[in-house]
Structure 1
Amino acid sequence: MATHFVLVAEKFFQLIAWTWLIPLLLKSVTAQPSICQQLDPSPNLQMFVDKLPIPATIDISTGAQLTLGIYKITQKLHRDLPNTTLYAYGTSQATASSPGPTLRAKRGIISHVRWENHISDPFHFLPVDSSIHWANPKSGGVPIVTHLHGAEVESASDGHPDTWFTEKGETGPKFVTQNYTYANSQPPTMLWYHDHVVGITRLNVYAGLAGVYFINSPSEDAYNLPSGDFEIPLVIQDKQFYANGSLNFPNVGDSPLIHPIWCPEFFGDTILVNGKIWPYLNVQPRLYRFRILNAANARFFTLSFNNSKLSFDQIGTDGGFLYKPIVLSTLTVAPAFRVDVLVDFSSLAPGTDVLLTNSAPAPFPSGSPALSPNGTHVVMKFHVISADSYTPGASSSIPSTFPPYAAINLTNVTVTRNLTLQEFDDSNGNPIVSLLGNLTWVDPVTETPLVGSTEIWQIINLTPDAHPIHVHLIQFHVLNQQSFDETGFLNGSCNLSKNFPKPGSCFTEKPRGPTVDQIGWKDTAITWPGNVTRFLIKFTPQDGSSFPFDVTAGPGFVWHCHILDHEDNDMMRPYVLH
């Protein structure tokens, strides 16, 4: 372990040769300095002056190919803020927006999307740190590749980080095609699409490249859920701004002699929902369905209402419906999480205002108050409209149960993998890299599951932060979690092969079941610090059938931390099915 990290460190120090370090530092100081986690505050903006926008919807269930391009645009994010330069998805530059259009597919009907790159900028408009491994196109430009997060999809259409392409036609080492095919064979759920280029995912997503994707099914009609105007996606992000409206992002790292620009986590001081800063939504006194996505780079959200009459009835998570609703007063949503909730406003008098608030610390779960200023404690406002403007819609209700899903059989587990999450710091205690299994992105593949097999992945978190770990292609269950003695594990005085309370065991308690945010089908789950979190994974579709495509074909799949700043700096690993 130590030997491997010495080699990794040597690679980093080789990269800081003065031939490129001096130009990078000069570039950083000639621009307005934005120091990692010490950014100048955004302009003082009034809350709740902009109505919540609803992204345009495109039906992709017709069988016809949809072409979605990536364009450079400007967009009004707040009434009193000048237009902001973004990269965005759209069918044309005129229609491109952030978030991108909502794509609606139908279960069992294949969809075809062609992704095009129309960004002609010679360089990214956000600061790129060349000291970390990234796409680095020889001809310049902004590389992109789109991943449909949570999809059961062939790897050629998965948005592998090394399948990027530029506007000039330069491609990554594993590029296959720009024409993607989505089987849509999984249960109805909410997915999301976002950029996934190796080394600059954090920049491209922050710049605007994200959107919502629904898989719908006629089977949903039986549940009498809110629909149409009463089913609303909420894409939540945090950002920081200059007075001229442009995005503020760090251009001075916390360990500049190793990474001149890279920052361990980006936390903004301003919350956006569907591309508007602290918006409001007029709601009728009735039941609503909110499909919530945390599209932030690193910030967790713990959502609640400032009115005790309201709660969340959570009916679904990443992979679709829960077995039955869970009534929650708070809802913790990690980066990349999707949650499907019902909220009933019928008990509130017309004219009532309700705030959706956030109490999650940053970094999560310990946090620093300086990284969660007052603006991050408020997400948006709901305003209950007056009785005379209330137009009743079709009735809807909260189902008592949903059809049970097939359990993953523990007796069929063939492999148990021990996979560490580790952070390495410089001599001043500043993080310089986080690794999975003490390996970098470019190290040889070590996870090679057998198609149809069932495995337990024991995620051993040796860092001070929670990490949302995402596994491409499949949905899994969090089996349990268990706290352990990190110091004893690292110095070898105990081990994880012995169960609590046996002598020599590193565990300090019996296994605990999943927390409420880990229940149900998951493609991304929180792994808590000081804990071993066990993922129960069956490498088949959710329903246990066979994949309708060859999952052993290249370029393969990946698993990674979905704190994008971590993912970009080697907290991502390839895996290959065989």
Structure 2
Amino acid sequence: MSPRITRRRLLGTSAAAVAAAAGGGWLARSGLLGPGEPGRLLPSQVPLPRPYQVPLPVPPVLAPVRSDATTDYHEITQRPATLSILPGLPTEAWTYHGSFPGPTIRSRTGRRTVVRHRNTLPHPTVVHLHGGHTPADSDGYPADLIMPAGGSTPAHVGHHAGHHAGHHGGHEPGRISVGERDYTYPMRQRAASLWYHDHRHGHTGVAVWRGLAGFHLVHDDEEDALRLPAGDRDIPIMIADRSFAANGSLRYPLIDPDLRTPGVTDPYMNGVLGDVILVNGAPWPVLRTDRARYRLRLLNASNARRYRLALDPPAPGGGLVQIGSDGGLLHRPLTHHTIDIAPAERFDVVVDFSRYRPGTRVRLVNRLGTGQTAHVMAFDITDATHDDPGLPERLSHIEPLDPARAAVTRTFHFQLRPDHGWTINGHPYRPGRPLARPRLGTTEVWRLISDFHHPVHVHLDPFQVISRNNRAPGPYDAGWKDTVDVRPSEAVEIAIRFTDYAGTFMLHCHNLEHEDMAMMADFTTT
């Protein structure tokens, strides 16, 4: 956890931070962010439960309401719900279909998925399929609001959403729907672990914190042929820290409880950290496992917290075998002793629990945490043993993007500025002002330069990490990515090939407090 950072202190250090991002080491030397971890802890006001007391919940799979020759149709109601998260206390949440996480949607490559979202919450919402290769009108542009069913459009919301980027690719950003909206996902993409969450302009942080997040898993024939762990041994793992008020409600430091003014109070400008680690909505749960291989689809759904995940006790040779990244399968398995995972990143890993004796408790721990936040969940190994096929040496073909053939190289500075706060290239977010206009069918190199810690997410197409500070990519950069962890005073180069869909899309920091306080930008494909 970093030292206290106020709005005044952050703005006062902005000029030096910008200079550091250009090549100095000021942030590291200053001690402002300690080891470089973002955020400030928001303590809960209730006694915290002991870890490993409740079983790991697995989100239910949402069945289609109907299917035809080309398409599966789903329906989700966004609604308030009272959940049992902490022992003996009710927690009011905003949910997809009454649960946190929301139900898991399963799709298949080449088969279209349509999801109708109905909003019965007290506030507008937007749905973004994170990692989805999606047309602009279904991408979850932050001003494409679904107003509450039966409600009217508040004047401040209509004005806020009405600044749009014009008409691109058959879609005018800033279009408002009342009650419900259909999102169409063509699924012209490979198998991958995606997730869906709220993306309303200025209010994503509070909406996700209060429960609006769920998995969307894509399958294809290539992945099926590998005979990876499946069924009960293929488990989505959503990790999210939260804080709780004395009455059991989710505690969040809004600057305006009525949600008219976006953002959080001064001490939490650099991110909100909770002191309860939830996995699939349960505090520090435990899973009974056979002595067999399991596939764990790890997702960091925290607003700002980074994790360094490890198994304790460790398995010989490194127990976390990565088979996939944000955008699906890697070329080959990679073995890790630890995995650093920033907000919105996904790591598909296989863990071979046959390496442990029956009766062993294996903990998944967070090496960046302290106290209770150093714990994540546990696995209790039973005496049931199953033969599993080993992992193949080759998983998939990853076509490398050649930066030498890039049509354009662009630079994006993620900065804190005294005059504007969190910005990209010196500007706070304004809908309708694209910072780039890439042409479909071309590859571009984007250079992402940071002052503080920023997990940068690009909509529409996945990318490949080319370099960090003009050196090789890091140990967690392999494969196709849609979110990259850009550390303080760092320049990361990524290569992106833009395909299929013309329109207006997003580039932003996925520290949700940074995002809500204007660290976003439009780009328009033509």
- Please, what TM-score do these two structures have when normalized by structure 1? 0.75
1:357 aligns with 2:305: no
How far is 1:412 from its partner?
2.0
1:103 aligns with 2:108: no
User: Structure 1 residues 116, 415: closer, same or farther in 2, change over 3 A?
Assistant: same
How far is 1:218 from its partner?
2.4
* Contact 2:44/2:274 (8 A) holds in 1: no
Amino acid at match of 1:49: Q
Whole-angstrom CA distance in 2 between matches of 1:327 and 1:391: 23
Alignment match, 1:459: 448
Whole-angstrom CA distance in 2 between matches of 1:330 and 1:304: 5
Whole-angstrom CA distance in 2 between matches of 1:353 and 1:260: 39
Amino acid at match of 1:437: N
Q: Deviations over 1:2-26 (max 9, x none)?
A: xxxxxxx9xxxxxxxxxxxxxxxxx
1:435 aligns with 2:423: yes
Alignment match, 2:510: 562
Query: Structure 2 matches for 1:172-571, cutoff 5 A?
Result: 172-173=161-162, 174-175=174-175, 178-251=181-254, 261=265, 263-264=268-269, 265-309=271-315, 311-360=319-368, 372-385=369-382, 387=383, 390=384, 392=386, 395-424=388-417, 433-442=421-430, 444-461=433-450, 463=451, 465-482=452-469, 511-540=470-499, 547=500, 551-553=501-503, 556-571=504-519
How far is 1:261 from its partner?
2.8
Secondary structure, in 3 states, of the residue corresponding to 2:54? coil
Whole-angstrom CA distance in 2 between matches of 1:39 and 1:252: 17
Q: Deviations over 1:364-397 (max 9, x none)?
A: xxxxxxxx54111000111012x2xx274x7332
Alignment match, 2:55: 51
1:575 aligns with 2:516: no
Q: Deviations over 1:438-457 (max 9, x none)?
A: 11211722211111111111
1:88 aligns with 2:95: yes
User: Structure 1 residues 66, 250: closer, same or farther in 2, change over 3 A?
Assistant: same
Gaps of 5+ in 1: 1-8, 10-34, 91-95, 122-141, 361-371, 427-431, 483-510, 541-546
* Contact 2:202/2:263 (8 A) holds in 1: no
* Contact 1:43/1:242 (8 A) holds in 2: no
1:147 aligns with 2:135: no
Amino acid at match of 1:446: L
Whole-angstrom CA distance in 1 between matches of 2:42 and 2:357: 43
How far is 1:347 from its partner?
1.8
Whole-angstrom CA distance in 1 between matches of 2:434 and 2:81: 38
Whole-angstrom CA distance in 2 between matches of 1:74 and 1:55: 16
How far is 1:424 from its partner?
3.1
* Contact 1:87/1:204 (8 A) holds in 2: yes
How far is 1:43 from its partner?
1.5
* Contact 2:190/2:218 (8 A) holds in 1: yes
Query: Structure 2 matches for 1:27-66, cutoff 5 A?
Result: 37=41, 39=43, 42-60=46-64, 62=67, 63-66=71-74
Gaps of 5+ in 2: 1-10, 12-38, 163-173, 257-261
How far is 1:425 from its partner?
5.2
Whole-angstrom CA distance in 2 between matches of 1:40 and 1:331: 27
Secondary structure, in 3 states, of the residue corresponding to 1:57? coil
User: Structure 1 residues 102, 552: closer, same or farther in 2, change over 3 A?
Assistant: same
Alignment match, 1:495: none
Whole-angstrom CA distance in 2 between matches of 1:75 and 1:40: 17
How far is 1:234 from its partner?
0.3
Amino acid at match of 1:236: I
Amino acid at match of 1:471: V
* Structure with larger RCO (C-alpha < 8 A, sep 6+): 2
Amino acid at match of 2:222: S
Q: Deviations over 1:241-273 (max 9, x none)?
A: 1232111112469xxxx9773631100111000
Query: Structure 2 matches for 1:8-27, cutoff 5 A?
Result: none
* Contact 1:269/1:373 (8 A) holds in 2: no
Q: Deviations over 1:279-307 (max 9, x none)?
A: 00001111000001100000011100111
Secondary structure, in 3 states, of the residue corresponding to 2:423? strand
Whole-angstrom CA distance in 1 between matches of 2:255 and 2:94: 22
* Contact 1:161/1:197 (8 A) holds in 2: yes
Whole-angstrom CA distance in 2 between matches of 1:305 and 1:286: 16
User: Structure 1 residues 573, 81: closer, same or farther in 2, change over 3 A?
Assistant: farther
* Contact 1:37/1:250 (8 A) holds in 2: no
Whole-angstrom CA distance in 2 between matches of 1:357 and 1:218: 34
Amino acid at match of 2:220: S
Whole-angstrom CA distance in 2 between matches of 1:528 and 1:46: 33
Q: Deviations over 1:212-258 (max 9, x none)?
A: 001101222221210000000000000111232111112469xxxx9
User: Structure 1 residues 203, 524: closer, same or farther in 2, change over 3 A?
Assistant: same
How far is 1:400 from its partner?
1.1
- Please, what TM-score do these two structures have when normalized by structure 2? 0.82
How far is 1:36 from its partner?
6.8
Amino acid at match of 1:159: G
Q: Deviations over 1:517-544 (max 9, x none)?
A: 222100000112212111111112xxxx
Amino acid at match of 1:438: G
* Contact 1:42/1:269 (8 A) holds in 2: no
Q: Deviations over 1:332-366 (max 9, x none)?
A: 11100011000001021111111110022xxxxxx
How far is 1:165 from its partner?
2.1
Structure with more of its chain in strand, by fraction: 2
Q: Indicate the percent of aligned positions where both proteins have the same amino acid.
A: 34
* Contact 2:463/2:496 (8 A) holds in 1: yes
1:156 aligns with 2:101: no
Whole-angstrom CA distance in 2 between matches of 1:111 and 1:36: 39
User: Structure 1 residues 454, 283: closer, same or farther in 2, change over 3 A?
Assistant: same
Whole-angstrom CA distance in 1 between matches of 2:395 and 2:255: 50
User: Structure 1 residues 182, 176: closer, same or farther in 2, change over 3 A?
Assistant: farther
